[in-house]
Amino acid sequence: MKILAVSGSPRIEKRSSTLKLVKAVAENTGCEYDLVSLAGKKFTGCIGCGACFGDNICKVKDDLAPLIDKIVEADAYILGGCNFYSTLNANMHAFLERWYQFRHRENDVLWGKPAVTVAVAGLHSAPVAEVLKQFCLYNFIQVTDSIEGLGAANCYYCGYGETCKVGGVYGAHGEGFKITDENIPCVSKDAACMEKARQAGNNLGQILKNGHDRAEATQEVRDALMDMSNKRAKEAH
Ligand SMILES: Cc1cc2nc3c(=O)[nH]c(=O)nc-3n(C[C@H](O)[C@H](O)[C@H](O)COP(=O)(O)O)c2cc1C
C-alpha cells in the first residue's frame, strides 16, 4: 500500500504548517508514502489543450510531469493546501487542475481511493477545506478525514509586523505586541491539531490495511455528488 502525500504550500519547510501537518498524517499511516512539497517547483495549471483526451496523459512538460506515475500508482492521497486570499492557494490549485488528465473516457485511476485533506490558514481554514473536499468529490475520491490548522502569516517574519497597521499581527494583537519565537503561530504548537492529524493518518492506514473496497467507496462518493447537485439545483430555483 502506497500513499502520495502532497503539501501545496510554496513556503520553505521550516515555516510551512501545511507541510508539517501533511507529514504528521503520512507518518502515522504505518504505510509506505511519498512526501512531495510543491515549494520551488515550476509548473502551470491545466491549459485545457485536450491532448490528454485520448490517453489520459498530460502532455505539458514541467516539474509536475514526474508526479503523474506517483498519482496513478498511489492507493491513497494526503492533499494539503493553504489559504491565499480566502481560497486554496494557486500552487495547490494548479497541481489539482492537472488531475483533469484522469477524467476522460471513464478512466478510473482516482475512483474510490481514500484521501485525507489538510487545510491551513492564517485565520480561516474552512474555505480551503471546502475546495479540497469539492475536488475530491468531483473525482470520486473518498475523503476519510479533513484536518484544519492555523499557521503564521508572513507578517510574523517580514520585519515590520509589530508596527504595520494593515498587517495580520497588528490585526490580531494590536499595539505593543512583541513577536517572539514562542508566539509565532505554527501547527506544531497546537497539540489538539497535531493529534487530529495523527489520528487521521492512523485511520487512513487502517482503511487501506483492512482491504478498502474502491467500488463501494466510488458509489458512496457518486451518491454524495448527486445529493450536492440536487441540493444546489433546488437552491437555484
Ligand atoms: C498571498 C497570501 C495571501 C493570504 N491570504 C490569507 C487569507 O485570505 N486568509 C487567511 O486566513 N490567511 C491568509 N494567508 C496566510 C496563510 O494562509 C498562512 O500564512 C499559512 O500558514 C500558509 O501556509 P504554510 O504555513 O503552509 O505556508 C495568506 C498568505 C499569503 C502569502
For the segment 220-227, the average pLDDT, to the nearest whole number, is 95
Is 123 in the same domain as 229?
yes
From ligand 1's centre to the CA of 84, what distance in Å? 5
Is 191 in the same domain as 137?
yes
CATH of the domain at 83: 3.40.50.360
Residue range(s) defining the domain that contains residue 32: 2-151+186-236
For the segment 192-210, the average pLDDT, to the nearest whole number, is 98
pLDDT tier, 192 (very low <50, low <70, confident <90, very high otherwise)? very high
Is 172 in the same domain as 100?
no
For residue 150, give the 3-state DSSP assignment. Answer: strand
Helix %, strand %, coil % for the chain, to 5?
Answer: 45, 15, 40
CA 106 from chain centre, in angstroms, equals 24
Structure confidence at residue 237 (pLDDT): 84
Is 36 in the same domain as 74?
yes
pTM above 0.95, yes or no: yes
In order of 108, 112, 219, 226, the CA distances from 215 in angstroms are: 10, 6, 6, 17
Is 50 in the same domain as 16?
yes
The percentage of the chain sitting over the pLDDT mark of 90, rounded to a whole number, equals 95
Residues with CB under 6 A from ligand 1: 9, 11, 15-18, 82-86, 120-124, 151-154
Is 190 in the same domain as 180?
no
Q: Which of 14, 16, 22, 85 to mutate to test the pocket of ligand 1 (most atoms within 8 A of CB)?
A: 85
> 156 CB contacts (<8 Å, ≥6 apart)?
168, 169, 179, 184, 185
Check pLDDT > 90 for residue 18: yes
Is 78 in the same domain as 107?
yes
B/e letters for 143-161, b = 16+ CB within 10 Å, e = fewer, are: bbbbbbbbbbbebbeeeeb
Which ranges constitute the DSSP H helices of 105-213? 126-138, 168-173, 191-209
Is 53 in the same domain as 157?
no
Q: State the total domains in the chain.
A: 2
Is 95 in the same domain as 179?
no
Least confident of 31-40, 99-108, 125-134: 99-108
Helix (H) or strand (E) holding 71: helix 68-73
**Residue range 152-183, pLDDT digits in tens:** 999 999 999 999 999 999 999 999 999 999 99
